[in-house]
Structure 1
Amino acid sequence: MSTSTIGELISLLFMAIALGMDAFSVSLGAGMQKIRLKRIAIVGIVIGLFHMIMPFLGIVVGQAISTRIGDFTTLVGGLVLVGIGTQMLLSAFNHESRQVIHTAGFGLLIFALSVSIDSFSVGLSLGISGVKTALALLMFGAASMVLTWAGMLLGRKVHGLLGVYSEILGGSILFGFGLHIIFG
């Protein structure tokens, strides 16, 4: 392996971890709800797939449209997380025991889309840079899947320690992360 290939692998690994950190943060908040281990595994896989699909779509769309769309997708992703976080905070004070982030069906797709939408804009730039696309997509998917699992499992442990306050903490994490995405 040449030095340039190793350098490219290392930079792709760091990029994959950076892209997966939003999935970790959001999954930390989501894991504070009562979610079974089987569902956590499925959520991680779906988010990993979305972290492969979104950059791929970004590559395809990036060849046809200007890069201005990247700012719009980031804003939408941030607004979705702020909305979910707000809903979690409000339901914590509403004293109703219900799951705010739905980790099955359409809710899972919206959840996965909200944490992977920023990778769409990364895909826009990947198509231009000439990076090994298949390797990058696999690394993005694997890193986000593992980080999602780690976040949800850690959130699950914190829920056991904090009890009813875990939903407030989880909602605050999602809300704050959404604001961070919007305002950078």
Structure 2
Amino acid sequence: MAEDHVSEVVPLVIMAIGLGMDAFSVSLGIGMQWLRLKRIAWIGIIIGIFHVIMPFIGIALGQVVSNQIGHYTQFVGGLLLAGIGAQMFFFAFNHEVKKISQPVGAGLIFLAFTVSIDSFSVGLSLGISGVKTALTLFLFGSISTILTWLGMMLGRKVKGVLGAYSELLGGSILFSFGIYLLFG
């Protein structure tokens, strides 16, 4: 019984880390600006909330789609994850796209939406495959919040060494899970 829970939670944790890597890498850049700890906490919470909302919408739509396409669900979910992972991997070094605005007000909302948009697509594929929604949303939200905080705190110290490499790692993780769904 405990093995079933572990075999279900471990892939979700790894997937949440993969999704949170985008927020982590952007947070490294944000952390290079001088921010108060209260602002850092707030930014992490907002990004975490978006990493709950976006996959929730995706999971809900995925469950609707799952009822429509039945036995193709695992194949479609695998294709979506592999595609998202490949996109994250190949666009990791596109420096023109990542111009960071100030993380306040509408800029913070836009930032949170931008770094969580990939979790919508992942949520869609997970909804198709019938994942446990509450557990998934908790893991995605909490791990992205923690990775955002970590990124901003490290950004204060590191000044941008890891940026694109963390996105490469996140894209590789999602791509691997997509391939696993397709062929595993």
TM-score (norm 1): 0.69
Q: Name the residue aligned to 1:92.
A: none
Gaps in structure 1 of 5+ consecutive residues? 88-99, 159-165
Q: Name the residue aligned to 1:97.
A: none
| Identity across matched positions, percent | 51
1:41-68, CA deviations, whole angstroms, 9 ceiling, x for partnerless residues?
Answer: 0000011111111111112233359979
SS in 1 for 2:111: helix
Q: Distance in 2 between matches of 1:37 and 1:121?
A: 31
Q: Name the residue aligned to 1:14.
A: 14
Kindly tell me: are residues 19 and 69 of structure 1, through their superposed partners in 2, closer, same or farther at Cα, counting changes over 3 Å?
closer
**Residues 20 and 148 of structure 1 are in contact (CA less than 8 Å); yes or no, is this contact kept in structure 2?**
yes
Kindly tell me: are residues 24 and 141 of structure 1, through their superposed partners in 2, closer, same or farther at Cα, counting changes over 3 Å?
same
1:44 aligns with 2:22: no
Q: Distance in 1 between matches of 2:12 and 2:28?
A: 24
- Equivalent pairs, count: 154
**Residues 26 and 173 of structure 1 are in contact (CA less than 8 Å); yes or no, is this contact kept in structure 2?**
yes
Q: CA shift at 1:69, angstroms? A: 8.9
Q: Name the residue aligned to 2:112.
A: 112
Q: Distance in 2 between matches of 1:3 and 1:21?
A: 27
Q: Name the residue aligned to 2:57.
A: 57
**Residues 61 and 127 of structure 2 are in contact (CA less than 8 Å); yes or no, is this contact kept in structure 1?**
no
CA-based RMSD of the aligned residues comes to 3.3
1:123 aligns with 2:123: yes
**Residues 84 and 101 of structure 1 are in contact (CA less than 8 Å); yes or no, is this contact kept in structure 2?**
no
Q: Name the residue aligned to 1:161.
A: none
Q: Distance in 2 between matches of 1:44 and 1:6?
A: 27
Gaps in structure 2 of 5+ consecutive residues? 70-75, 176-184
Q: Distance in 2 between matches of 1:2 and 1:177?
A: 32
Kindly tell me: are residues 59 and 22 of structure 1, through their superposed partners in 2, closer, same or farther at Cα, counting changes over 3 Å?
same
Kindly tell me: are residues 12 and 177 of structure 1, through their superposed partners in 2, closer, same or farther at Cα, counting changes over 3 Å?
closer
1:111-135, CA deviations, whole angstroms, 9 ceiling, x for partnerless residues?
Answer: 1111111101101111111211100
Q: Distance in 1 between matches of 2:53 and 2:121?
A: 12
List, as ranges, runs of 4+ consecutive aligned residues in structure 1 with deviation greater than 2 Å: 60-72, 81-85
Once the two structures are overlaid, the 10-residue window that deviates more, 62-71 or 18-27, is 62-71
Q: CA shift at 1:82, angstroms? A: 4.5
